[in-house]
Amino acid sequence: MNVTSGGNELLKESLWETKNRRGRKRVIVTKPLPGERWLHLLFEANCRVEICQSEEILSSKEIIKAIGEHCDGAIGQLTEQWNEEVFRTLKHAGGVVYSNYAVGYNNVDVSAATRCGIAVGNTPGVLTETTAELAIALTLAAARRIVEADGFMRSGKYIGWLPTLYLGNLLFGKTVGVIGAGRIGATYARMMVKGFSMDLIYHDIRRNHDLERDLIQFGEFVHSSGRKEVRVTYSKSIDRVLKEADVISLHPVLDTSTRHLINPERLRLMKKDAILVNASRGPVIDEAGLVAHLKTHPEFRVGLDVYENEPSTAQGLRDCPNAVIVPHIGSATGWTRKGMSILAAANIAAVLNRYPAWGETNDMHPFLSNTPPKAAPSIVNAKDVGILPYS
């Protein structure tokens, strides 16, 4: 199998590794995945598994070539475009299921997959705390200028303590703003409020009553011990969050309403020394506008894990000392990535075995146990493709 790469070179057959050659069902996996258990789940479903070893992002043409004339299912990456042409090819090859190795799936044309009768899986439930912790790390790194100070030390410029050396922002007792209070956003909010006694102001299309109750109870406890009671505010206005918060962390879904949610106009609403954190989706920020704002507002800081046009960054971003930038590592812990592998493989195996769908609101942790449910962990179009719910 020769697959044409995005450049002039060929992605050769030698870059594909085959596991369980005797398997009757063929599954392609576009990148090596952490752990071993995910493979055994597919082996138990009688699958031959072909894994692309290339670190390059596969184009749609490459994926179509890899699907070939017979393919029952596929596990792909958020960096790939799984569009209508790809799903039509998968259907014609006998495919019935695709799983995205991510919780988000804005790279997947779910409607096209549904029209082709192909189930689309994702991997929620195991990224929550890991991604929230990364957002916390970005917040602290930006607030205390960790990357700048690290570079200063490594360059041998440190000659002694100074009262004004790398002054940063104090977070304790300030206000944290969260836009998107789903699983990850709410977890980030809890960590910031409980860890730094911060007030919270948040926006979401749905009010998160569980989050509010939890933090109000925490605030009452703090107050009973003689400290300042923390406040929790729900705002229907994103602009109010941006105006009032000292730190703003972005956790919305990506759709037409949230693309360029943060633009030059909204950046101007924020405090001059605010901290903006994005570990959700790159296109929620107008990156070129952000770079311009960073250059004209040296006290404004940002921590980014995702980018508008990955793997590229906007011109000038890498030169901004007030930006902390990391390469999309929000879910990059061993436990989480192995868990994602298991969920992605479990989606494939379950659909091939005609199991029901566990449901997106259910806890995913049973699938990490020694006796996982006989169900697909998360199929986003389960109802539309006729997969019954687990009972």
Residue type, 335: W
How far, in Å, CA of 203 to CA of 233, rounded? 9
How far, in Å, CA of 154 to CA of 149, rounded? 9
Please give the pLDDT value at position 335: 96
**Interval 44-95: pLDDT, tens:** 999 999 999 999 999 999 999 999 999 999 999 999 999 999 999 999 999 9
Q: How far is CA 30 from CA 27, 47, 49, in A?
A: 10, 15, 11
Q: Collapse the DSSP code of 73 into the 3-class scheme (helix H, G, I; strand E, B; otherwise coil) and give the result.
A: strand
Let me know if residue 386 belongs to a domain.
no
Single pTM value for the model: 0.90
How far, in Å, CA of 139 to CA of 247, rounded? 8
Q: Over 80: is that where the pLDDT of 257 sits? A: yes
Burial pattern 116-151, b for ≥16 Cβ within 10 A else e, equals bebbbbbbbbbbbbbbbbbbbbbbbbbbbbbbbeee
Q: Over 50: is that where the pLDDT of 9 sits? A: no
Q: Over 70: is that where the pLDDT of 227 sits? A: yes
Same domain as 122, residue 133: no
Mean pLDDT value of segment 111-135: 96
Catalytic residue flag (residue 328): yes
350 close to 344: Cβ distance less than 8 angstroms: no
Question: In the chain, helix, strand, coil percent, each to 5?
Answer: 35, 15, 45
Confidence class of residue 228 from pLDDT cuts 50, 70 and 90?
Answer: confident
**Interval 301-340: pLDDT, tens:** 999 999 999 999 999 999 999 999 999 999 999 999 999 9
For residue 59 the two structure tokens come to: 């184009």
Let me know if residue 145 belongs to a domain.
yes
140 close to 155: Cβ distance less than 8 angstroms: no
Catalytic residue flag (residue 223): no
**Mean confidence (pLDDT) of the chain:** 94
For tokens 């100074």, what's the residue? 162
Q: How far is CA 263 from CA 136, 202, 269, in A?
A: 23, 18, 10
169 close to 143: Cβ distance less than 8 angstroms: yes
How far, in Å, CA of 281 to CA of 309, rounded? 10
Same domain as 59, residue 24: yes
Let me know if residue 376 belongs to a domain.
no
Same domain as 159, residue 228: yes
Same domain as 241, residue 269: yes
Same domain as 111, residue 142: no
101 close to 79: Cβ distance less than 8 angstroms: no
For tokens 């392609």, what's the residue? 28
Same domain as 303, residue 173: yes
Please give the pLDDT value at position 67: 97
Same domain as 201, residue 140: yes
For residue 390 the two structure tokens come to: 């687990």
Mean pLDDT value of segment 129-134: 97
DSSP H or E run through 98? strand 97-100
CA atoms within 13 A on the CB side of 357: 20
How far, in Å, CA of 260 to CA of 225, rounded? 43
How far, in Å, CA of 32 to CA of 167, rounded? 43
Same domain as 85, residue 58: yes
CATH code where residue 215 lies: 3.40.50.720
Let me know if residue 98 belongs to a domain.
yes
Please give the pLDDT value at position 222: 87
Let me know if residue 377 belongs to a domain.
no
**Residue finishing a domain among 264, 290, 325:** 325
Please give the pLDDT value at position 13: 64
**Interval 146-167: pLDDT, tens:** 999 999 999 999 999 999 999 9
How many Å separate Cα 348 from the centre of its chain?
21
Confidence class of residue 362 from pLDDT cuts 50, 70 and 90?
Answer: low
DSSP single-letter state for residue 96? -
Q: 56, 85, 328, 360: which one is catalytic?
A: 328
Catalytic residue flag (residue 281): yes
Burial pattern 326-358, b for ≥16 Cβ within 10 A else e, equals bebebbebeebbbbbbbbbbbbbbbbbeebbbb
Same domain as 75, residue 117: yes
Strands 275-278 and 73-76: unpaired
For residue 73 the two structure tokens come to: 């299912």
Q: 85, 148, 310, 360: which one is catalytic?
A: 310
**High-pLDDT (> 70) share of the chain, %:** 95
Mean pLDDT value of segment 360-384: 90
Which domain does 302 fall in, by range?
128-325
Same domain as 145, residue 115: no
Let me know if residue 381 belongs to a domain.
no
Same domain as 314, residue 357: no
In sequence order, which ranges of 230-372 are alpha helices (DSSP H)?
238-244, 264-269, 287-296, 334-352
How far, in Å, CA of 12 to CA of 104, rounded? 30
Q: Over 60: is that where the pLDDT of 104 sits? A: yes
Let me know if residue 374 belongs to a domain.
no
Please give the pLDDT value at position 361: 58
Let me know if residue 202 belongs to a domain.
yes
Q: 26, 281, 301, 337: which one is catalytic?
A: 281
User: How many domains does the chain contain in total?
Assistant: 2
Same domain as 30, residue 82: yes
Please give the pLDDT value at position 100: 98
How far, in Å, CA of 67 to CA of 90, rounded? 6
